Amino acid sequence: MCALTAGRRGRRVLVLDRSNKVGKKILMSGGGRCNFTNLQLTPERFISANPHFCKSALSRYTQWDFIEMVERHGIEYFEKRTVNGLSGQLFCKDSSKRILTMLLDECKQAGVHIRTGCDISSVKRQDGYHLHSNQGRFAAESLVVASGGLSIPSLGGSGFAYQLAEQFGLNLLPTRAGLVPFTFSGATKALCRALSGLSCEAIVYCRETSFREDLLFTHRGLSGPAVLQASSYWHTGETIRVNLLPGMDATTLFKTWKRERPKALLRTLLAEKLPKKLIRELEALHWPGQAETALTEWPDRQLKTAATLLQAWELKPAATEGYRTAEVTLGGVDTHELSSRTMESQTPGLYFIGEALDVSGHLGGFNFQWAWSSGYAAGMAV
C-alpha cells in the first residue's frame, strides 16, 4: 500500500522482501478469503500504549477507500454474519489471492519495482539510506520499514523492524503474541482435549474487556473468535472468565426449572441450551455426585454453584500458543516517537508502518486496515 501510494505520486519505489513471495499473510488470511477490512472501523478497535496515535492515519485512508479499490478491481466480497448479526467483517467471495493481485497490479501501474529473496544485512544513514543485501547495495532518500511483527515466522514474521528501530535509537515496547489460542494444563487441558472441535457461543472476559462470539475447544486449550480477542488483553498468570450461557440468568433459570420440572436432571434441561458433550464433561468434573440427582433434590446452594460455574467459569491459561500461531504481535515500535500523520520517526526519512508498530487491531479485518492506512500515510509523505 505504501509503495503504490508513493509510486502514484511519482516517487521511484523499490520494495525489498526477504521472502520468496510478497504478501504471504494476505494469502493465508481469513481462511483463504482475506478479511481485508471492517465496516465498523473505530480507533477503539486497536490496542496501543498510545491510543490516539492511529486516529489520523485511519481517518485519512478509511475502510471505504480500500473498498473503493476492491470494487474498482471487480473483486466480489461479503460481510460475515455472526451470532450477533452482521459483523462488519468483509471477506473476498473468491480468494485472498484477488487482494494480493490487486495490490501488485496497482504497484505495477505505479511503476514500483519489487525484489524478493532479498536479505538485508545492514542499513546505514549517510546522505540518505544505504542498504547491504545478498542482492547487492541499494541507496535511497527515504526508508520505510514494513517488515511486520514476530507472528508466524514461516509467513515472514521477523524482528527486523525492532532491530532497525533500536539501531536508530527508537524506543521499543515489550512484544507478546496476540489473537492467539490459550493452552491449559491439568484437568482443564483434559476437558478441552475431550471436547476438541466443539464450539459454542460464549462471553469471554479478560481484565475489564469482554467478547461475545464463538468459543472453540482444541486439543491444547481454547480458541475461537471470543478467545482470540480476549488473548490480546491477557498477561501471563491472569485468570479469564467464561460465560457459557450469554444473555441468560442461570440462577433464576435453575430455580424456575427446580419448581416447574422437579423430576428432571440438570443435564437434560441444560441440553436445551448447551451441547450435550460439554454438559457431560462439566458435570463429570464439577458435580459428579449430583449428576443423576433430580432437580428437586439439589440444595439451592449447589444449584447456585453450578449456575456460577456456567456463567463465570474461571480459567487460568497456562500460556498462549505463542508466535507460532498468533495472528498478530502486540507491542513493538513505540509510536510516541513517530509522527501520526506520516509515520516518520525522529530520524528524517526513516518511517515505520504496519504491524511493526505498537498498534494492534482486534480480530475482524482491523489489522489489515491498519496496514493499509499506515502504509498510505507514509506513502503520501515519503
Ligand X SMILES: Cc1cc2nc3c(=O)[nH]c(=O)nc-3n(C[C@H](O)[C@H](O)[C@H](O)COP(=O)(O)OP(=O)(O)OC[C@H]3O[C@@H](n4cnc5c(N)ncnc54)[C@H](O)[C@@H]3O)c2cc1C
| Interface with ligand X (CB under 6 A), residue from 160, 184, 257, 298 | 160
Distance between CA 21 and CA 277 in Å, rounded?
44
- Kindly identify the residues of this chain, within the stretch 271-330, that bind ligand X according to CB under 6 A: 327-328
Q: Would you count residue 146 as binding ligand X (CB under 6 A)? A: yes
Question: Rule CB under 6 A: is residue 213 a binding residue for ligand X?
Answer: no
C-alpha–C-alpha distance, residues 100 and 52, integer Å: 29
Give the residue, chosen from 3, 17, 110, 350, that forms a contact with ligand X under the rule CB under 6 A.
17
> What single string gives the DSSP state of each residue in 29-59?
GGGGT-EEEETT--GGGEE-SSTTHHHHHHH
Residues between 61 and 120 with contacts to ligand X, criterion CB under 6 A: 120
**Shortest distance, position 323 Cβ to ligand X, whole Å:** 9
**Closest residue to ligand X in the complex (CB):** 354
Cβ–Cβ < 8 Å for 294, 264: yes
> What is the C-alpha to C-alpha distance for residues 292 and 265, in angstroms, rounded to an integer?
7
Site size toward ligand X (CB under 6 A) is: 31
List binders of ligand X among 343-382 (CB under 6 A): 354-356, 365-368, 371
In the complex, the smallest distance separating the C-beta of residue 83 from ligand X, rounded to whole angstroms, is 19
Candidates 150-158, 194-202, 292-300, 302-310; binding stretch for ligand X (CB under 6 A): 150-158
Q: Does 16 bind ligand X (CB under 6 A)?
A: yes
Give 247-310 as a 3 state SS string: CCCHHHHHHHHHHHCCCCEHHHHHCCCCCHHHHHHHHHHHCHHHCCCEHHHCCHHHHHHHHHHH
Question: Contacting ligand X (CB under 6 A), which of 48, 63, 87, 147?
Answer: 147
Smallest distance, Å, CB 314 to ligand X?
30
The three-state DSSP-derived secondary structure of 157-210 is CCCHHHHHHHHCCCCEEEEEEECCCEECCHHHHHHHHHCCCCEEEEEEEECCEE
Which one among 82, 135, 158, 209 touches ligand X, defined by CB under 6 A?
158
Q: In whole angstroms, how far apart are CA 50 and each of 37, 53, 327, 331, 371?
A: 22, 6, 21, 11, 17
DSSP class of residue 344 equals B
Is residue 19 close enough to count as binding ligand X by CB under 6 A?
A: yes
- Among 312, 320, 120, 146, which residue's Cα sits nearest to residue 232? 320
131 touches ligand X (CB under 6 A): no
Instruction: Tell me whether residue 343 is exposed, middle or buried, using C-beta atoms within 10 angstroms of its C-beta: 0 to 12, 13 to 18, 19 or more.
Output: buried
Cβ proximity to ligand X: between 16 and 250 the closer is 16
CB of 312 to ligand X, least distance (A): 31
**Applying CB under 6 A, does 28 fall inside the site for ligand X?**
yes
Q: Please name which of 19, 40, 5, 103 lies closest in space to residue 361, comparing C-alpha atoms.
A: 40
Question: Which residue in the set 27, 155, 264, 291 belongs to the binding site for ligand X (CB under 6 A)?
Answer: 155
d(CA 335, CA 271): 49
In the complex with ligand X, the residue whose CB is nearer, 168 or 305, is 168
Nearer to ligand X (CB atom), residue 331 or residue 354: 354
Task: Determine the longest span between alpha carbons in the chain, in angstroms.
Answer: 84
CB of 367 to ligand X, least distance (A): 3
Considering beta carbons, is residue 168 or 255 the nearer one to ligand X? 168
User: Cβ of residue 148: shortest distance to ligand X, in angstroms?
Assistant: 3
Note whether 152 binds ligand X by CB under 6 A: yes
Binding site for ligand X (CB under 6 A): 16-19, 22, 25, 28-30, 34-35, 120, 146-148, 151-152, 155-156, 158, 160, 327-328, 354-356, 365-368, 371
